[in-house]
């Protein structure tokens, strides 16, 4: 089979011919139709991920058709159009994953290939309203957004939400999920174009975080927020604490701009704020996310589709941060 191959840290992706995986007990092999990129793939290529096992075939998200069943797998899965929960071995504690927890694509072979082997328990039927490309855009970003919004921050209908960094896959699904739940949604972005596109999705408004005193300006416009979902951290996180209403909840699932700046602790305890770290999600989070997507017929935003052979070009496009939505590889 063809696969996208990463030889070592800071090496470009190349296409190789390699052996097709074989399903073991409780496993299936999926013929991959589409796979999507995540920021995680950039970190792995640059050697900045906490697991370093090279050479590697990356890719956490995919959709396709079940091609082979391992021993003990229900025969109903044969030939089914599916997408895959990329979380493996979360563990028994719903509040935090176990030490054995891992994500498809590192250290095991991932989905940037014509075939991928996964646990049968991680299969979900592809929602009928989604294409393979849209379904491949959903898993990692979708469960991350869902857990941060609902499991951790307990978003309620009618609340006001701020999602930072509109344009990334998780941020856009957080916007779509919050809107579907009956919330009022605002965004931040580094470009006016992305703010406008977020408003086309249903956001009430937004602000460019390059604007001087953007937090103060946004608070004057909105009065503050009940829930704030962030992937940047850095100095901007200080503004989120100021923007949170009393009883507000902040969910953080990334740290692209580095260490959090100096925060006045009185603003946290006096306003009774809750700050939640969140990454990926449990099997229950994933199932609940899929249910929301199916009931509300939510379509992940796909920015661009590359052929599998153009994986290195797709990675550089992601690294540039110009996308609005998910970057997808067309495989089969």
Residue 309 confidence (pLDDT) = 96
Cross-strand pairs, 86 = none
CATH of 143-277 among 3.40.50.720, 3.90.950.20, 3.40.630.30, 3.40.50.140: 3.40.50.720
Q: Strand 102-103 and strand 27-36: pairing?
A: unpaired
Quote the Cα angle for 261-248-251, to 5°: 60
Residue 83 confidence (pLDDT) = 98
Q: What is the percent of the chain where pLDDT is above 90? A: 95
Residue 319 confidence (pLDDT) = 92
Tokens standing for residue 245: 């209403």
Q: How confident is the model at residue 50 (pLDDT cuts 50, 70, 90)?
A: confident
The rounded distance, in Å, linking the Cα atoms of 117 and 66 is 10
* 257-278 per-position pLDDT tens digit: 889 989 999 999 999 999 999 9
Provide the CATH topology of domain 2-138+300-330. Answer: Quinone Oxidoreductase; Chain A, domain 1 (3.90.180)
The rounded distance, in Å, linking the Cα atoms of 247 and 249 is 7
Whether residue 332 is predicted with pLDDT greater than 90 in this model: the reply is no
Q: Strand 274-277 and strand 160-163: pairing?
A: unpaired
The conformation of residue 55, written as its DSSP 8-state character, comes to: S
Q: What's the mean per-residue pLDDT of the chain?
A: 96
* 175-199 per-position pLDDT tens digit: 999 999 999 999 999 999 999 999 9
* 119-134 per-position pLDDT tens digit: 999 999 999 999 999 9
Residue 284 confidence (pLDDT) = 98
The rounded distance, in Å, linking the Cα atoms of 278 and 228 is 13
**What are the residue ranges spanned by the domains of the chain?**
2-138+300-330, 143-277
The rounded distance, in Å, linking the Cα atoms of 278 and 313 is 30
> What average pLDDT score do residues 62-81 get?
98
Report the chain's C-alpha Rg in angstroms: 20
Whether residue 322 is predicted with pLDDT greater than 90 in this model: the reply is no
Residue 183 confidence (pLDDT) = 98
CA distances from 24 to 33, 72, 117, 329 (A): 22, 9, 9, 26
Cβ-contact 251, 228 below 8 angstroms: yes
Cβ-contact 240, 265 below 8 angstroms: no
Question: Is the model more confident about 156 or about 322?
Answer: 156
Instruction: Please report which helix (H) or strand (E) contains residue 196, including its range.
Output: helix 192-201
Residue 257 confidence (pLDDT) = 86
The rounded distance, in Å, linking the Cα atoms of 19 and 85 is 23
Mapping DSSP to helix (H, G, I), strand (E, B) and coil, where does residue 205 land?
A: strand
Whether residue 48 is predicted with pLDDT greater than 90 in this model: the reply is no
> What average pLDDT score do residues 53-75 get?
97
């Amino acid at each position: 089979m063809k696969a996208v191959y990463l030889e070592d840290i800071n090496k470009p992706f190349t296409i190789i011919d390699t052996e097709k995986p074989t399903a073991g007990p409780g496993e299936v092999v999926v013929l991959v139709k589409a796979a999507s990129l995540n920021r995680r793939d950039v970190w792995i290529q640059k050697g900045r991920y906490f697991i370093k096992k090279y050479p590697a075939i990356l890719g956490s998200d995919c959709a396709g058709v079940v091609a082979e069943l391992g021993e003990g797998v229900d025969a109903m899965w044969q030939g089914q159009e599916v997408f895959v929960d990329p979380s493996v071995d979360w563990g028994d504690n719903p509040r935090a994953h176990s030490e054995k927890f891992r994500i498809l694509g590192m250290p095991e072979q991932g989905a940037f290939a014509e075939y991928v082997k996964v646990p049968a328990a991680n299969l979900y039927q592809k929602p009928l309203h989604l294409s393979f490309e849209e379904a491949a855009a959903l898993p990692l970003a979708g469960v991350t957004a869902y857990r941060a919004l609902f499991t951790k921050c307990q978003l309620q209908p009618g609340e006001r939400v701020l999602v930072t960094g509109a344009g990334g896959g998780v941020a856009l699904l957080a916007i779509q999920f919050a809107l579907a739940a009956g919330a009022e949604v605002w965004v931040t972005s580094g470009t006016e174009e992305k703010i406008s596109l977020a408003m086309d999705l249903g956001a009430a408004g937004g602000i460019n975080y390059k604007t001087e005193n953007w937090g103060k300006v946004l608070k004057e416009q909105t009065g503050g927020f009940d829930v704030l979902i962030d992937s940047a951290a850095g100095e901007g996180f200080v503004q989120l604490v100021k923007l949170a209403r009393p009883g507000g909840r902040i969910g953080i699932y990334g740290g692209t701009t580095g260490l959090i700046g100096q925060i006045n602790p009185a603003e946290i305890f006096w306003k009774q704020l809750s700050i939640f770290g969140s990454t990926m999600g449990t099997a229950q989070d994933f199932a609940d996310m899929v249910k929301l997507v199916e009931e509300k017929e939510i379509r992940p935003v796909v920015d661009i589709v590359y052929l599998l052979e153009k994986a290195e070009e797709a990675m550089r496009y992601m690294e540039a941060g110009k996308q609005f939505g998910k970057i997808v590889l067309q495989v089969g």
